[in-house]
């Protein structure tokens, strides 16, 4: 079961980084492998928490796969939780946390997944691993484009 965790400090505010990651409809513009993302449903809780059901299509060369997730956007706590609904995975769990840090924001990204098909896992596993390693960089570059380029403070 592949998993990946990265914590990175960036020179942007936690609320800015939360808003950037929460703007899922923009992912195809900058996120590796993401070719399409469509929000199927949105539900507001009234307490600053919004839940979306989103369908994402990822592709690499001749391989295209689609999957559906439930995304909980918890703005008051600056957390995003992604849960697997349907598609080529046995399971998929993804979390984002945004915390104040000296000079900016600490962004924590975690993903844990397994493909249903062993063959697809072998084929896409290395590609996904490389892409996940670039996710935090892609979001940071997007933040620099939108909020001003000031560079990363540090990476761990």
The answer to whether position 156 is within a domain reads: no
The answer to whether position 135 is within a domain reads: yes
Give 12-69 pLDDT, tens digit per residue. Answer: 999 999 999 999 999 999 998 899 999 999 999 889 999 999 999 988 777 788 999 9
The answer to whether position 155 is within a domain reads: no
Query: What does pTM read for this prediction?
Result: 0.88
Q: Which residues form the domain of 134? A: 3-149
Inter-residue contact 40 to 68 (CB < 8 Å)? yes
Residue 42: give its domain's CATH number. Answer: 3.30.530.20
The answer to whether position 102 is within a domain reads: yes
What is the number of structural domains in the chain?
1
- As to burial, measured by CB atoms within 10 angstroms (0-12 exposed, 13-18 middle, 19+ buried), residue 40 is exposed
Token readout for 140 is 């940071």
The answer to whether position 154 is within a domain reads: no
Give 93-148 pLDDT, tens digit per residue. Answer: 999 999 999 989 999 999 998 888 887 777 676 776 777 778 778 998 999 999 98
């Amino acid at each position: 079961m592949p998993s990946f965790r990265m914590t990175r400090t960036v020179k942007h505010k936690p609320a800015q980084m939360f808003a950037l990651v929460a703007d899922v409809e923009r992912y195809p513009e900058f996120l590796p492998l993401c070719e399409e993302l469509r929000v199927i449903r949105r539900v507001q809780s009234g307490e600053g928490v919004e839940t979306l059901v989103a369908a994402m299509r990822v592709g690499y060369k001749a391989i295209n796969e689609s999957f559906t997730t439930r995304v909980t956007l918890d703005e008051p706590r600056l957390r995003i939780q992604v849960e697997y609904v349907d598609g080529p995975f046995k399971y998929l769990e993804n979390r984002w946390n945004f915390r104040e840090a000296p000079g900016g924001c600490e962004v924590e990204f975690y993903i844990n997944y397994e493909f249903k098909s062993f063959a697809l896992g072998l084929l896409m596993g290395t590609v996904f691993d490389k892409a996940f390693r670039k996710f935090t960089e892609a979001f940071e570059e997007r933040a620099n484009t939108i909020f001003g380029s000031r560079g990363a403070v540090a990476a761990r």
